[in-house]
Amino acid sequence: MELRNLITFIHVAELGSFTKAAEQLGYSQSTISFQIKQLEEELGCLLFERINHTITLTEKGRELVSYAHQICALTEEFKENLEEKTVSGHIHMVTPDSLCDDMITRNYIDFHQKYPGISVKFTTADTAVMFDMLDHNEADVIITLDSHSYNKDYVIAKEEPLCMHFVANANSKFAGKKNLSIHDIVNEPFILTEYGQGYRKVFDKELSKHSLEITPVLEIGRTDMITALVAQSDMISFLPDFVTKDMVESAKLCYLDVCDMNIEIWKQLIYHKNKWMSKALKTLIDYMIENDFAH
């Protein structure tokens, strides 16, 4: 059994397309078809059903996916053990905008100095897009800031509840007031992260439970811009504490004591259960866990 045929099978299974697999692997479509046919003949079973120009995994094909990943992982592990012990590799991490900024400014230099052989590509995306990228092996690991997620296809390397607050200018008329209601501030000008994404989506769902809706005066993914604008105006926002902590401590922003919004946000470090755990990926995940989950 040729390893390259198994690798081709994995790509076709994940992408659901001979054409897309050919593009990603740099083969012609006829080569992809030939390799899958070789594998089917060698195993003596049909791996894909081909109906009306669409392909779906057969039951035997679904069984082979897990075995194929294991074989490829063991092969790569053996190859790594033959090489020098210096950890090297390329990792694609996908995070929300706000967390990407925080991780790069707080942690990346230290990580690079410790592991100069590992290159990291940061991409930002919404939670739903992140999981789609994991499913298609387009991302190695993701971090979500959303409601709690669990799916048997994913491994949660670490998770923790996230502290969130309504924030305003330190001189806001609401500063220092106790037991505020969402009704007290709902008609104030709000600046929020983008609609339908991450914790903004959870926030809007909680508002709907109160039969309320907020139309922000500005929506933007850059939390650094949000905090800067809130500090200079009468606007209010809803943000994770790791974004606002420094400006609250320096008395540029203040947390509002809003007591009737039950919003639970989780930060989760996740990878696909079938993802090959290279030394580089394991090193990055271990680093993030040891360094307070990029907090």
Q: Is the pLDDT of residue 83 over 70?
A: no
10 and 4 Cβ atoms separated by less than 8 Å: no
Domain ranges of the chain: 3-82, 89-160+266-294, 162-263
- Does this model's pTM top 0.85? no
CB-CB contact of 9 with 47 (8 Å): yes
CA distances from 230 to 24, 238, 249 (A): 44, 11, 15
The class of domain 89-160+266-294 in CATH terms is alpha beta
Classify domain 162-263 at the CATH class level.
alpha beta
3-82 is a CATH 3.20.20.370 domain:
no
Predicted confidence (pLDDT) per residue in 202-213, tens digit: 999 999 999 999
pLDDT in tens, 240-253: 998 999 999 999 99
How many other CB atoms are there within 10 angstroms of residue 82's CB atom? 6
Say whether 162-263 and 89-160+266-294 share the same fold: yes
Question: pLDDT digits over 158-177, tens only?
Answer: 999 989 999 999 999 999 99
Q: What is the pLDDT of residue 130?
A: 93
End-to-end CA distance of the chain: 45
